[in-house]
Amino acid sequence: MSEHLRALLNQVLALPEGERLQLLGEVLESLRSAGDVEKSWTQEIKQRVEELRSGKAELLDWDEARAAIQGSRQ
């Protein structure tokens, strides 16, 4: 554990129990919202698949992708 994190932990442990519980709830809630990231990625994947199926987007093989990337650097 880093010194910064250890100092923060010591500050948290010095709080009254109620405040520690409140802080714990906030931290746990921030971790739960990480599930929103998975939901967002699922929506993004569905959108990309639909774009491929509809012809709005097309796949490139690696050689084409690499050439496009290298061309954009020049």
Which uninterrupted H or E stretch holds 1?
Answer: none
How far apart are the C-alpha atoms of 10 and 58, rounded to whole Å?
54
Tell me the per-residue pLDDT of 6-61, one tens digit each, with 9 for 90 and over. Answer: 999 999 999 999 999 999 988 888 877 666 777 888 889 999 999 999 999 988 89
Domain extent for 16: 3-73
H helix runs in 1-74, sequence order: 3-13, 17-32, 34-54, 62-73
Q: Which residue has the tokens 């012809």?
A: 55
Structural domain total, the chain: 1
Query: What pTM value is reported for the model?
Result: 0.45
